[in-house]
């Protein structure tokens, strides 16, 4: 095998020489890359593929992240980070939000998509907050029936069964541009 770097759209081989492998497509003449990565050529089986470059997705203090709530504990919850400053991350890294007074207030539910701001790295744990207007729940669904919910003051209301529940909503709740939050 030999290797070379490739960007999305880059021509890495011609179709007379190789078949398309992982992360590639053919445009009728050439085999091109779908991702940023390293092109690899299996000359025995005549397959060209791209091994996608692993992004170093390290959320820094001050970054805005978007992710889905993966766990809800007594006074904190975990967010599986999907976007850091609007850039997708596939690292599967979680951050932790303190939810003071959450026994009385329901801030988030598992599965909600939320925006949060990173405030510190302590002992290998990334801590975040959702206590600013833009931060908080961006998308949610009814815990009773799984249907769509709409914002109703500081609550969400199910459009199907009418169930109402509290949330810490972002001012961007329901905005489909949520992935751009925090991007410059
Ligand atoms: Zn419902």
Return the pLDDT at 182: 61
CA distance 48 to 42: 6
Determine the distance separating the centroid of ligand 1 and the alpha carbon of 159, expressed in angstroms. Answer: 7
Give 10-residue mean pLDDT values along the chain (184 residues): 76 94 93 90 94 74 95 90 85 84 74 96 91 94 94 94 95 74 57
Determine the distance separating the centroid of ligand 1 and the alpha carbon of 100, expressed in angstroms. Answer: 27
CATH topology of domain 2-52: OB fold (Dihydrolipoamide Acetyltransferase, E2P) (2.40.50)
Average pLDDT, the chain: 87
Return the pLDDT at 3: 64
Determine the distance separating the centroid of ligand 1 and the alpha carbon of 117, expressed in angstroms. Answer: 30
Cβ distance 169 to 107 under 8 Å?
no
Determine the distance separating the centroid of ligand 1 and the alpha carbon of 158, expressed in angstroms. Answer: 5
Determine the distance separating the centroid of ligand 1 and the alpha carbon of 153, expressed in angstroms. Answer: 17
Determine the distance separating the centroid of ligand 1 and the alpha carbon of 164, expressed in angstroms. Answer: 8
Determine the distance separating the centroid of ligand 1 and the alpha carbon of 141, expressed in angstroms. Answer: 8
Percentage of the chain modeled with pLDDT above 90 = 65
Determine the distance separating the centroid of ligand 1 and the alpha carbon of 149, expressed in angstroms. Answer: 8
Nearest CA to 23 out of 55, 52, 54 is that of 52
133-161 residue pLDDT tens? 999 999 999 999 999 999 998 899 999 99
Determine the distance separating the centroid of ligand 1 and the alpha carbon of 126, expressed in angstroms. Answer: 33
- To the question of pTM greater than 0.75 for the whole model, the response is no
Range(s) of the chain covered by CATH 2.40.50.140: 64-173
Return the pLDDT at 53: 76
Q: Which residue is listed with tokens 């206590």?
A: 131
Range(s) of the chain covered by CATH 2.40.50.100: 2-52
CA distances from 133 to 100, 102, 152, 169, 184 (A): 17, 18, 16, 8, 18
Return the pLDDT at 42: 93
CATH number (2.60.120.1030, 2.40.50.140, 2.60.120.1440, 3.30.2010.10) of 64-173 reads 2.40.50.140
Render the burial of 45-79: b for 16+ CB within 10 Å, e for the rest: eebbbbebeeeebebeeebbbbbbbeebeeeebbb
């Amino acid at each position: 095998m030999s290797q070379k770097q490739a960007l999305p759209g880059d021509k890495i081989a011609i179709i007379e020489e190789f078949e398309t492998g992982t992360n590639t497509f053919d445009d009728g003449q050439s085999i091109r890359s779908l991702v940023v990565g390293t092109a690899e050529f299996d000359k025995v089986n005549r397959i060209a593929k791209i091994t996608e470059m692993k992004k170093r997705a390290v959320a820094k203090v001050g970054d805005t992240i978007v992710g889905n709530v993966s766990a809800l504990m007594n006074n904190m919850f975990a967010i599986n980070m999907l976007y850091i400053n609007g850039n997708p991350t596939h690292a599967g890294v979680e951050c932790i939000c303190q939810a003071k007074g959450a026994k009385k207030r329901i801030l988030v539910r598992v599965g909600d998509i939320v925006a949060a701001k990173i405030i510190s790295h302590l002992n290998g744990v990334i801590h975040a907050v959702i206590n600013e207007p833009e931060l908080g729940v961006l998308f949610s669904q009814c815990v009773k029936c799984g249907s769509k919910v709409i914002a109703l003051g500081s609550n969400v209301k199910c459009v199907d069964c009418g169930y109402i529940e509290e949330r810490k909503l972002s001012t961007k709740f329901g905005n489909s541009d949520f992935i751009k939050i925090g991007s410059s």
